[in-house]
Structure 1
């Protein structure tokens, strides 16, 4: 038996559970890595197309994060409610591509730079706006996707 981390909620003493245990994570890691490169490349492209000047409101990062969250909302509904996806689709697209595309680390750096530059109100507004817009985006996209699916099934 390999020395891999085990979910504490899974009882591996049951033969059926033991047989269902994944035997390798190389494919998952590769899928996340390739997807992450694609997503990060797309985000970098957005920053080249719409650069943010030093000290200015970071609209590009905000828009990228809101769009990425909306796509996550759609994606999760499709792969959980509509059809079962290959086991590597979620790590590749959800964790990799969309994880690489959205950039909450840059969001944190943007807040710090705004605050350090004497724009504390703008930093706080950006902090709140991004949080609310990202949550609203993922919720609205998931909700609308479910409604469209229900409508199409009638």
Structure 2
């Protein structure tokens, strides 16, 4: 696996560093106290879902020929930017002083994230389709992303 995809490590690592710094910046700009809604994590995860949906419309369409863009932006930048572990920890911590708010945060984050991902993909499709390109939503270019489940290899 690594020998076939070793060239992707540097773009993923560089993207991860950028995404993590962006998340840290937002967390620093929007601190929250005990029992308060964790706005930084909420906004980070929702905007990350929106951007990932938008990115997928492009990497499954006009940018499907690029090998490094999806790993750099999707896995690296957005993977470093969004944070499931912080979301889970903040939900648990919030549950002590404000259990109702914790439940709202837990469910609200999932609903907002799914909605944002759908919106990003939908907006991306509109932009790509307006440019005359097709977006393949049900699959990916098998030459770029082979399906190991079907015995395909790069």
Could you list the per-position Cα deviations for residues 102-139 of structure 1 after superposition, in whole angstroms to 9, with x for gaps in the alignment?
Answer: 11111001001011x23111111100000000000000
Shift of 1:83: 2.6
The 5 Å alignment of 1:83-98 reads 83-98=63-78
Distance in 2 separating the partners of 1:118 and 1:23: 49
Counterpart Cα distance in 1 of 2:113 and 2:14? 24
Structure 2 gap segments, 5+ residues each: 134-154
Aligned length: 133
Q: Equivalents in 1 of 2:35, 2:59: separation in Å? A: 40
Q: Alignment partner of 2:60: what SS?
A: helix
Counting only pairs closer than 5 Å after superposition, residues 54-93 of structure 1 correspond to structure 2 as: 54-93=34-73
**TM-score where L is the length of structure 2:** 0.79
In the alignment, does 2:138 pair up with 1:138?
A: no
Flag the structure with larger Rg: 1
Structure 1 residue ranges without an equivalent (≥5): 5-21
Q: Distance in 1 between matches of 2:84 and 2:128?
A: 30
Q: C-alpha separation between the residues in 2 aligned to 1:27 and 1:93?
A: 15
Q: Which residue of 2 aligns with 1:108?
A: 88
Q: Distance in 1 between the 2:8 and 2:131 partners?
A: 33
Aligned runs of 1:24-63 on 2, under 5 Å?
A: 24-63=4-43
Q: TM-score, normalised by structure 1?
A: 0.79
Compute the displacement of 1:147 (Å). 1.7
Counterpart CA distance in 2 for 1:125 and 1:82 is 38
